[in-house]
Structure 1
Amino acid sequence: MAIRAFLTLFILAIFYSTVTGQVRTCEPCDTSKCPLASDKECLAGLTLDRCGCCQVCAQRESELCNHPDVPSSKQYEACGENLQCKCNYCAPELEQQRQELKEERQNERMQEIQMLYDEQRPWSEWSLSNNSCTQHTGHDIEQVRQLYSFCEQSLVEYCTNRKQQATSTDIPYLSPINLLSVTLWYLKHYHAERYIATELNFGRSTVNYFLSAVIDILYSCICPKLISLPDNMDDETTIHGPEQHHKLIVDSTFIAIHQPEDAEERKVYYHAKSPTNYGFKVQIACDFHHRIVHVSRCYPGSVHDITILRESGLLEHTQENVQIIGDKGYVGEQYVVTPKKKPRGGQLTTEDKDFNQSICSARAAIENINQRLKNYAILGSVYRGPYDDIDKITTIAHVVSALCNLQLCKHPIRSHRS
């Protein structure tokens, strides 16, 4: 009888320890005793062991795992990345669950950032009136908020990543809306980065970093929405110029730079119309709604207009009923309409003069648009950036053109032709 009772108690003790997961007990953590584990050996990645001490291989798909609701599973490790413990086994996470979790975390980050920076200047001051907002950013409050809606997600992600990378909690941050408004301020007035750093109490390198990042964000978020070629250029009902087949107007404009030190570079960047005699050249195209529909890459000032047009890709869209109006710098292409030249030793006919007058009248729109682009000091004054970084100035030219289009929607050049 005593032996039977002893055996019964022994079996019950083993059963209890198995059910409650106490077969393996946790000792005080000593990482020096931890086995070596690496990502190469662990196909499902690394995780902390059940005691939270050592890095061990995570469980792979279909392997037993540590489930909080199954006491006996505590002897197993956690599942690897993109796996979850279901019914004591590792199984792939559902894509919908991962997406919901991602959106939930993103919303939490957005709320945290907004709550933290609602009263942060300068936007808290500039947004008090349209006059103040326009004076600083070149756009009214409604337009700034529209721009923000285009790139909110990218700006929030940038802020979040910067916070995660920071090694100190004392580093100052700008909220997403402030990053946008300060960058617009920079593009509009082209203040020196040192001045902006002083105004915001930031380091100059910090200002340089976030201005470059936000300009890239604007390029990827607003340019595709605000600059695009018309889909219906060959439609007879599309608004056109002096003739029904006139669909676009092109012209180049310059961005002045300081005189290059190297003699060969001075030849390359020479541009007679620039106040410094040196600059970049960029081609702008608009339609007869007087909206910018295409912006070329930037080129050194000595590059000929017709070369820029040929390399821009615009000529691929031309045909008999889709032609482009340009000035005399574009003579030589079949579907580019330019003013008539006076014959040597002769005079233009009355018909030719009337034709030239109509072409010049149509071209007034693109000249007006190019002048509006110069209202942004980063393009209208002498560019101080590295002139050998064509990609950077091209990005800036596209962003400013998109911002100009936003202004043209609210302040058009003139009414549409009937």
Structure 2
Amino acid sequence: MSEILNYIEENPKETQRLIGLEYEQLQQLIENGERLHHEKQAIVEAKKVRLIARGGGRKPKLSVKEQIILTLVYLRHMTTFQLLGIQFGVSESTANDTFKYWLSNLRELLPSSLLEQVKKNASDYEIVKEVLSEYELIVDSYEQVRERPGDNEEQEKYYSAKKTNHTFKSQMIILPEGKDIVDVVAGEPGPKSDITLFREYRDKFDPKQRFKGDKAYIGEDLITTPIKKPKNRQLTPEQKAQNKAFSAKRIFVEHRIRSVKIFRVVQERFRLNPHKYEPVILAICGLVRFRIGTLILPTQISVIPPN
């Protein structure tokens, strides 16, 4: 047993600080993760042409429980894979491979948003869109610094004058009071304006869907925004009061983005392969939904074998 797993078992109340989930939630995730892993392994085994008896070969050094915790530790603390391997008693490459495998599994287990959760069923998707139109959803975006691209065109595409660095941009849309993450867009070029990003993905929602946004969304008819200060004039006390009340309702999206950023892989410079940015962000959004109780893990998982 790794020292980190041993520490969690002895100090369950510290689990959330260590990996971003409460101890009971970790146990549920491990239970579902083990089931998914074993079903995938059964599919692989059924396709094998065996040269040795079942059960032979090298045994994995880490249990499924340790593999899941290794992945969560990386997302929460963004340590190096070398140090992660030392902590779990495996090589750097094994730590890296374990992370890749379980990142994919987390994406299957934990839908990043309400729309992703229902997208496989067209009728459910349409029902959810209609129900959402009864609410005024809250939208916002944020930038994260990435490694400098090697290609000149990529450098220009991702260079953000606002951050004076190369960045990714992500957009989050939530329910009022931050009760759930409705939609996430991750990995767009940082210089892209918030309103442009919103318009590119607007067709996911009902045509009459309303939103709340900050001043970056002024000019979009579907988005309610704060009152902008007129040039060379001041806002009236009534207008200031309206803006304050508006901000009190919109602030929940900031809180939800902050809950994603407790995972340091979202806070700091993104050092993994740029192609991993979207699945990493979406996996973390799934973890956040699970953490705040809006996502309930199924009691049974079915894996459909590929054709």
Q: Please classify the TM superposition score into its range, dividing by the shorter chain length.
A: 0.7 to 0.9
Q: Paired residue for 1:154?
A: 36
Structure 2 residue matching 1:341: 3-state secondary structure: coil
Give the distance between the partners of 1:299 and 1:225, measured in 2 at CA.
17
Structure 2 residue matching 1:339: 3-state secondary structure: coil
Q: Paired residue for 2:16?
A: 134
Structure 2 residue matching 1:205: 3-state secondary structure: helix
Where does the alignment leave 5 or more consecutive residues of structure 1 unmatched? Answer: 1-118, 236-245, 411-418
Give the distance between the partners of 1:247 and 1:268, measured in 2 at CA.
32
Q: Deviations over 1:52-77 (max 9, x none)?
A: xxxxxxxxxxxxxxxxxxxxxxxxxx
Question: In structure 2, do the counterparts of structure 1 residues 314 and 153 end up closer, same or farther at CA, with 3 Å as the change threshold?
Answer: farther
Is 1:381 equivalent to 2:268 in the alignment?
yes
Q: Deviations over 1:249-291 (max 9, x none)?
A: 11101222133344433322123454x7221110011111412
Superposed CA RMSD: 3.0
Asked if 1 retains the 8 angstrom alpha-carbon contact of 2:133 and 2:206, the reply is no
Is 1:337 equivalent to 2:224 in the alignment?
yes
Q: Paired residue for 1:302?
A: 191
Question: In structure 2, do the counterparts of structure 1 residues 403 and 185 end up closer, same or farther at CA, with 3 Å as the change threshold?
Answer: same
TM-score normalised per structure 2: 0.78
Q: 1:187 aligns with which of 71, 75, 78?
A: 75
Question: In structure 2, do the counterparts of structure 1 residues 200 and 400 end up closer, same or farther at CA, with 3 Å as the change threshold?
Answer: same
- Write the mapping of 1:52-63 to structure 2, written as runs, cut at 5 A: none
Question: In structure 2, do the counterparts of structure 1 residues 250 and 359 end up closer, same or farther at CA, with 3 Å as the change threshold?
Answer: same
Give the distance between the partners of 1:363 and 1:133, measured in 2 at CA.
30
Q: Quick one: which amino acid aligns to residue 285 of structure 1? A: I
Give the distance between the partners of 2:3 and 2:60, measured in 1 at CA.
12
Q: Paired residue for 1:212?
A: 100
Q: Paired residue for 2:132?
A: 233
Q: Paired residue for 1:406?
A: 290
Deviation at 1:183, TM superposition (A): 0.8
Is 1:312 equivalent to 2:196 in the alignment?
no
Question: In structure 2, do the counterparts of structure 1 residues 224 and 375 end up closer, same or farther at CA, with 3 Å as the change threshold?
Answer: closer
Where does the alignment leave 5 or more consecutive residues of structure 2 unmatched? Answer: 119-126, 295-307
Q: Deviations over 1:314-341 (max 9, x none)?
A: 663251xx41001122222221111122
Greater relative contact order (Cα < 8 A, sep 6+): 2
Question: In structure 2, do the counterparts of structure 1 residues 252 and 148 end up closer, same or farther at CA, with 3 Å as the change threshold?
Answer: same
Give the distance between the partners of 1:166 and 1:317, measured in 2 at CA.
56
Is 1:368 equivalent to 2:267 in the alignment?
no
Q: Paired residue for 1:271?
A: 160
Structure with larger Rg: 1
Greater percentage in helix: 2
Give the distance between the partners of 2:244 and 2:25, measured in 1 at CA.
36
Give the distance between the partners of 1:269 and 1:364, measured in 2 at CA.
27
Q: Quick one: which amino acid aligns to residue 215 of structure 1? A: L
Give the distance between the partners of 1:149 and 1:169, measured in 2 at CA.
25
- Write the mapping of 1:6-405 to structure 2, written as runs, cut at 5 A: 122-158=4-40, 161=44, 169-223=57-111, 231=128, 232-235=131-134, 247-272=136-161, 274=163, 277-290=165-178, 291-313=180-202, 316-319=205-208, 322-387=209-274, 389=275, 392-405=276-289
Q: Quick one: which amino acid aligns to residue 329 of structure 1? A: A
Q: How many residues align?
A: 275
Structure 1 residue matching 2:289: 3-state secondary structure: helix
Asked if 2 retains the 8 angstrom alpha-carbon contact of 1:374 and 1:380, the reply is yes
Deviation at 1:342, TM superposition (A): 2.2
Give the distance between the partners of 2:72 and 2:15, measured in 1 at CA.
10
**Structure 1 stretch displaced more, 182-191 or 337-346:** 337-346
Give the distance between the partners of 1:317 and 1:152, measured in 2 at CA.
38
Question: In structure 2, do the counterparts of structure 1 residues 341 and 315 end up closer, same or farther at CA, with 3 Å as the change threshold?
Answer: farther
Asked if 1 retains the 8 angstrom alpha-carbon contact of 2:113 and 2:183, the reply is no
Q: Quick one: which amino acid aligns to residue 393 of structure 1? A: Y
Deviation at 1:143, TM superposition (A): 1.0
Asked if 2 retains the 8 angstrom alpha-carbon contact of 1:147 and 1:222, the reply is no
Q: Paired residue for 2:123?
A: none
